[in-house]
Structure 1
Amino acid sequence: MNPNKVIAALFTVALPFVVNAQNIPTSFNNPLNVALGDPYVIYDEETARYYMYGTGGANHGFAAYSAKDLMNWKPEGQVYYASNENGWSDSTAAWGGAYWAPEVYAHKGKFYMFYSAQWKDNPGGELENFRIGVAVADRPTGPFVDLPSGPLFDPGYPIIDANVYFADDGRIFLYYSRCCYKHPVESEVASWARQKGWFDEIEESWVYGVELKPDFSGIIGEPVLLLRPPVEMTNAQAEWESRSVTSKEVNRRWTEGSFTFKHEGTYYMMYSANHFAGENYAVGYATAEHPLGPYTKAANNPVLEKNTASGGNVTGTGHNSVVFLPGGRMLCVYHGRTKKTGNERVVFIDEMEINDNGVLKVMGPTTAR
């Protein structure tokens, strides 16, 4: 199967995907009736259906949903089990093993799932011992079986939120987030919080990129730091990326949930900041001329955030993927919360566009119910 048949952020928007876009509505009944975090959507040409994966909805693993129209989603059941013959994770660890943020890619006739979980090799007894795994299946509904009997690689610190980009020259790149855990960083925000007596230190998560081996058996070279929270409080991004700290919510600043694609020669990396369980979770983006940067954050960030200040009831908007349709139409798929759903994360889909000046905008969050 050619990877160009999968609608994901791997490819230039102008590629001629064979998709029946007539089934796709012009607006969505948000939030959708799908309770997942970190949603990721692909299109499978053989079944002529979209498939959605995400965090939640399964016991020590991942579930899938399918739809022909991106609106009416049908449960497909659990598609990945941690107990598979090559399983390397620890289902007894914190957060039930922390099976988070699966993304599935069609490649050379197979479907590959990249995900994060707690690694059972944990001699230091770390609370957050996350690594990234790769599992393979013949169908988008699995069953997915881990490729090796261990994680993709071990950088020596916990990592989550894998995202993969297939470049035009055949190279494959992995993006991931180094976790905040035991990663205190000095910054003006950290000094400000310490002076107020709120927090002794501020931990941060950073986004890295690295080239993957063609068979997904490991990495090539050393990871490159691509995105991190600003050091100076006068930085234009510091206000929105520091809200979890400045609201006294938690002593962490996140840069996670990255999603990379190419549009008219420019690489766009969307990312989320702030506490995923809080109301300030929001999405920004950065651009580059190469898959491994350097990336420059956009002046119009954040492009997706809570709408309560304008009378809405959506908060915690983040960790998105993008669906590309023929004709250049783009849809941003993300999770959020409403007053009705409470702490449960549910899926939203809203229109997204990039104008002639290269400025990305998400027309959301919207609600219809």
Structure 2
Amino acid sequence: MNTKKISLNLIILLSIAFLTTLKAQNTETLKLADPTIFYHKNTYYLYGTVENAWDGGFKVYTSTNKKKWIDKGVVLKKGDAFGTKGFWAPQVFERNGKFYMAYVANENIAIAESNSPLGPFNQKVKKSIDAPVRMIDPFVFFDNGKIYLYHVRLDDGNRIYVAEMNADLASIKEETAKQCIFATEFWENTEKVAWSVTEGPTVLKRKGLYYLFYSANDFRNPDYAVGYATSKNPEGPWLKYKGNPVLSKKNTKVNGSGHGDFFTDKSGKLNYVFHTHESNSKTGKRRTAIISADFSKGTNEFEVLKVNNSTFKFLYK
């Protein structure tokens, strides 16, 4: 009996079985729209809008390597905080040892808190942030002792605004509200609709310059894409980058690429998590993906951001 040959064949069979099992475990893409990733103590926490118009709140997935994502269940449940429907676009951040989730429900913005990124997030007083119009897509930004709420106002289109927040994180100084971005360029409104859309704001500060990233077009439009504008002040005025969009179906080869958030991974690399359409032939569910990005020297004294197309990948559970 040739024991060496048998042992080799056994190793091959076991390897095939292992790879088959591994492939089966990584064939279901995550379907969170408007995603955000919060990195804390060597763990990535992924939140987003649950597909199929689920109105129960938000879930979280965790990973230690950005490859395998584990479903950790509901972190904000309807009834524990403001809202009865339309739970969209969460952002999670830490402040003074507490964890906060800014989110949309009933086309208003609210902020809930927790002792853990795993939740549960709740509010002692279940209310949204007061505003004269409906507001969606929050992004809370801390800078030089002030707190800013970048958000979208549903006012003759989806228009991005910024306002100072009060220290309680439950209200804004409405008198400080300023419009930042609305659709003025072709790539931002490719179907030339009357109600144009700019949404999903995210802000980065680098070398004294503020970068406001946003998505444009309706999310159902194949041309949904991401661009940015810069300013020397967190309140603007904002100058749109001439190379927009910086992320679109041209980068990913998948329709509807946009509405995400930046995070820095454990190696110090900048990443953008976002969603795409599930299919290029019809609008339906959305899939969650990430792509790495980096700043490089531009044509003037400011740096420009570019994504690395080769790093684009979907997230799997």
**Residue deviations 1:336-366 (CA, integer Å, cap 9, x gap):** 0243896211111111111023111122383
Q: 1:138 maps to which residue? A: 115
Residues of 1 paired with 2:273 and 2:220: CA distance? Answer: 18
- 1:111 is the counterpart of 2:58: no
The equivalent of 2:128 in structure 1 is 151
User: How many residues in Structure 1 have an aligned counterpart in Structure 2?
Assistant: 281
Counterpart-to-counterpart distance in 2, 1:328 and 1:76:
25
After superposing on structure 2, the runs of 4+ consecutive aligned residues of structure 1 that deviate more than 6 Å are none
Deviation at 1:277, TM superposition (A): 1.8
Cross-structure match for 1:348: 289
Cα distance change of structure 1 residues 32 and 104 upon mapping to structure 2, 3 Å threshold = farther
- 1:160 matched to 2:156: no
What is the SS of the residue equivalent to 2:248? Answer: coil
Structure 2 residue aligned with 1:172: 147
**Offset of 1:313 from its aligned partner?**
4.3
CA distance in 2, matches of 1:148, 1:229: 36
Distance 1:251 1:64 in 2: 36
Name the structure 2 match of 1:298.
241
In the alignment, structure 1 residue 76 sits paired with structure 2 residue 72? yes
CA distance in 1, matches of 2:27, 2:215: 19
- One-letter identity of the residue aligned with 2:135: I
Deviation at 1:223, TM superposition (A): 0.7
Structure 1, unaligned stretches of length 5 or more? 1-29, 92-96, 119-129, 184-203, 231-237
Q: CA-to-partner distance for each residue in 1:315-350, whole Å, 9 max, x for gaps?
A: 101112111246752111110024389621111111
Q: Normalising to structure 2: TM-score of the pair?
A: 0.82
Q: Distance in 2 between matches of 1:215 and 1:83?
A: 21
Closer, same or farther in 2 for the Cα pair 1:333/1:31, shift >3 Å?
A: farther
Partner of 2:32: 36
Q: Which has the higher strand share?
A: 2
The alignment's TM-score, normalised by the length of structure 1, stands at 0.71
Q: What is the aligned counterpart of 1:335 among 269, 275, 280?
A: 275
Asked if structure 2 preserves the Cα contact closer than 8 Å seen for 1:279 and 1:315, the reply is: yes
By relative contact order (CA 8 Å, sep 6+), the higher-ranking structure is: 1
Correspondence for 1:241 among 176, 188, 191: 188
Shift of 1:149: 2.4
- The share of aligned pairs that are identical, in percent, is 32
Q: Which residue of 1 aligns with 2:183?
A: 229
Cα distance in 2 for partners of 1:174, 1:31 equals: 37
Q: Distance in 2 between matches of 1:304 and 1:290?
A: 24
Equivalent-residue separation in structure 2 for 1:160 and 1:102 (angstroms): 10
Question: Contact (CA 8 Å) 1:304, 1:364: kept in 2 or not?
Answer: no
Larger radius of gyration: 2
The RMSD of aligned alpha carbons is: 2.3
